[in-house]
Structure 1
Amino acid sequence: MLTKRPLLLLATGLLGGYAAAAQTPDAPPAAKAAAMSEQEVLFWLLLSLLGLLLLVLLLTGIVITRQMKPQLRQLYDLPLVHDTWSGRVLGLLVGDARLVQGDVRDELLDHNYDGIHEFDNDLPPWWKYGFYATIIFAVGYLAYYHVLKTGQLQGAEYAAEMQQAALLIAATPDDPNLLTTYQPLLVPAELSSGKAIFATNCAPCHGASGEGKIGPNLTDEFWLHGGEVNHIYKTIKFGINGKGMVAWKGKLSGKQILQVSSYVLSLQGTKPANAKPPQGEKEAVGKAVAKL
């Protein structure tokens, strides 16, 4: 008894600790069970019952077919049944795979070449029916899209989707397809704010004086995406995909973007040192001029 008692106490302690741990909120199984709603439980229960019912029906069908195989064979051998479509389906139940393999299997032809015999086998009926179905589909496709022109081809469908997308975008306040109607800011305080924003966010790519580095020179009369203040505003706000110009929408407010756009126009004709060669098309635009 002195030997068994410590073992019983140890086992009792382990079981008690395990039960307490199982009741803690951190236990994943309990949390998962609590997270499952009654509808989910009912869904999985019904799905399990349906699967069980289908399994029972399948097993019952197999048992009935095996027991009735002699009677089915007699029915299959009848001349009126043997060569019909339903008879071929019935043949699958009695071991005749003509419906899948075809009527002719491994029939030796009466000629050979260099001792090589040639067999004549039917194409599988399922393959032939599938091929016939593709022919019917091709004729219907040709008539629907190219003869009657009822359906839209890829190009027309893409154009229609793009038009619909443009309408959806136009319904939002931030439509990249529509230009704003702002005027350049001329107040020195506004341009000073634009200069500070430019120095923080734009100078790494366009240079501290707008001379151009990775990005284009902003001090000449050549522009890649338009040099009018609203074009500059659009470029800054929405960016240029694939050109390295990021969209500042969401990072800068509308007023800040207009301040930067106006400051960029104030750089026209400043001719900084080490200016990057012109890029884009020449465009004479008005600039915001103010003494900073």
Structure 2
Amino acid sequence: MRLARQALYTAGATLLAAHPALAQTAEASAPTADPKLPLLWFLLSTLLLVMLVFWVFFVALIAWMRPQLRQLYDLPTVHNTWSGRVLGLLVGDARLVQGEVRDELLDHDYDGIHEFDNDLPPWWKYGFVLTAIFAVCYVSYYHVAKTGQLQGAEYATEMQQAALLIAATPDDPNKLTTYTVLNTPAELSSGKSLFTTNCAPCHGASAEGKVGPNLTDEYWLHGGEVNHVYKTIKFGVNGKGMVAWKGKLSGKQILQVASYVLSLQGTKPANAKPPQGEKEAPAKTLASR
């Protein structure tokens, strides 16, 4: 009993001594807030408040000085100048944006349709000039100097960069496998069973083609080499109705199905679907689509 009490006392003292160290460890591991963040929000809020006060003061000043600004705007020496048109925006005259509206009829008369002699809006004219300048710069940069990439080259570069971001793993659709065809009766029998269960509803019991293409001819939509067919079965074809069998069949089962389809080349089943895709030599036609 005495030894047990001494052991308990020792354990309690050890825990009490370790408590401050544990507290310090917890405090050290706790995430600390960035001290600069509150200062940044304070500066942004202050800036927005100053801008709001300035805008209110500016609007109030314009409203208070509007009669004097109108008198200044009506002066002949000011009215038709560039600065006068800017001043006109403050007193309600939008000539700078809308252009001159003279409402003067021209002599043109087309089936009762009359034409007014009005200027094009300045914003339209400025936009047209900027468009012409942009077109000259674009042609010079992309087609004359050939400094920038056109859409096709830019797309190819982005696809190469995207391919580098995908890890080269067995589930990488951009990395082609290096399998060979399975030729043993047992493997082909397993492939036939899997094909009958999973593939026949779309490709037919003899692979003659139904919704999916005929798999017994020399024509292939996505490549007839065994590894191309393996890839098509595993990852499917988006938008074409070919589902991805990855996760439903193992890698070996997919290879068994591809090898079985290879064994059907040239069997010419009844009611075969017309060829689809590109023709490949029988020596290269080693797998399914």
- Does residue 222 in structure 1 map to residue 187 in structure 2? no
Whole-angstrom CA distance in 2 between matches of 1:98 and 1:269? 80
Q: TM (normalized to structure 2)?
A: 0.63
Task: Classify the secondary structure of the residue corresponding to 1:181.
Answer: coil
Q: Is the 8 A contact 2:224 2:285 kept in 1?
A: no
Partner in structure 2 of residue 94 of structure 1: 91
Whole-angstrom CA distance in 2 between matches of 1:87 and 1:249? 72
Whole-angstrom CA distance in 2 between matches of 1:106 and 1:269? 82
Partner in structure 2 of residue 151 of structure 1: 148
Q: Is the 8 A contact 2:108 2:115 kept in 1?
A: yes
Q: CA deviation at 1:127?
A: 2.5
Whole-angstrom CA distance in 2 between matches of 1:112 and 1:286? 74
Partner in structure 2 of residue 279 of structure 1: 275
Q: Is the 8 A contact 2:85 2:95 kept in 1?
A: yes
Which stretch of structure 1 is more off in the superposition, 279-288 or 98-107?
279-288
Q: Is the 8 A contact 2:103 2:118 kept in 1?
A: yes
Q: Deviations over 1:174-204 (max 9, x none)?
A: 3445432212334554444323322210121
- Does residue 263 in structure 1 map to residue 252 in structure 2? no
Partner in structure 1 of residue 137 of structure 2: 140
Note the 1:42-53 alignment, pairs <5 A.
Answer: none
Whole-angstrom CA distance in 1 between matches of 2:112 and 2:254? 86
Q: CA deviation at 1:215?
A: 3.5
Note the 1:6-45 alignment, pairs <5 A.
Answer: none
Task: Classify the secondary structure of the residue corresponding to 1:249.
Answer: coil
- Does residue 164 in structure 1 map to residue 161 in structure 2? yes
Whole-angstrom CA distance in 2 between matches of 1:118 and 1:278? 64
% same residue: 74
Q: CA deviation at 1:124?
A: 2.5
Q: Is the 8 A contact 1:108 1:117 kept in 2?
A: yes
Task: Classify the secondary structure of the residue corresponding to 1:143.
Answer: helix
Corresponding pairs, count: 243
Q: Is the 8 A contact 1:216 1:276 kept in 2?
A: no
Q: Is the 8 A contact 2:168 2:175 kept in 1?
A: no
Q: Is the 8 A contact 1:221 1:283 kept in 2?
A: no
Amino acid at match of 2:272: K
CA 94–279 in structure 1, closer or farther in 2 if over 3 Å, else same: closer
Task: Classify the secondary structure of the residue corresponding to 1:174.
Answer: coil
Whole-angstrom CA distance in 2 between matches of 1:143 and 1:103? 36
Whole-angstrom CA distance in 2 between matches of 1:115 and 1:207? 70
Q: Deviations over 1:194-229 (max 9, x none)?
A: 2332221012123334444443444x4624255443
Q: CA deviation at 1:242?
A: 5.1
Q: Is the 8 A contact 1:170 1:177 kept in 2?
A: no
Partner in structure 2 of residue 236 of structure 1: 233
Q: CA deviation at 1:257?
A: 0.6
Whole-angstrom CA distance in 1 between matches of 2:261 and 2:268? 13
Q: Is the 8 A contact 2:202 2:212 kept in 1?
A: yes
CA 207–75 in structure 1, closer or farther in 2 if over 3 Å, else same: closer
- Does residue 254 in structure 1 map to residue 274 in structure 2? no
CA 221–116 in structure 1, closer or farther in 2 if over 3 Å, else same: closer
Whole-angstrom CA distance in 2 between matches of 1:178 and 1:223? 23
CA 122–268 in structure 1, closer or farther in 2 if over 3 Å, else same: closer
Partner in structure 2 of residue 29 of structure 1: none
Q: CA deviation at 1:151?
A: 2.1
CA 166–278 in structure 1, closer or farther in 2 if over 3 Å, else same: same
Q: Is the 8 A contact 1:185 1:259 kept in 2?
A: yes
Alpha-carbon RMSD across the aligned residues, in angstroms, is: 4.2
Q: Is the 8 A contact 1:239 1:246 kept in 2?
A: yes
Q: Which runs of 5+ in 1 are unaligned?
A: 1-45
Q: TM (normalized to structure 1)?
A: 0.63
CA 229–95 in structure 1, closer or farther in 2 if over 3 Å, else same: closer
Whole-angstrom CA distance in 1 between matches of 2:285 and 2:117? 86
Amino acid at match of 1:222: E
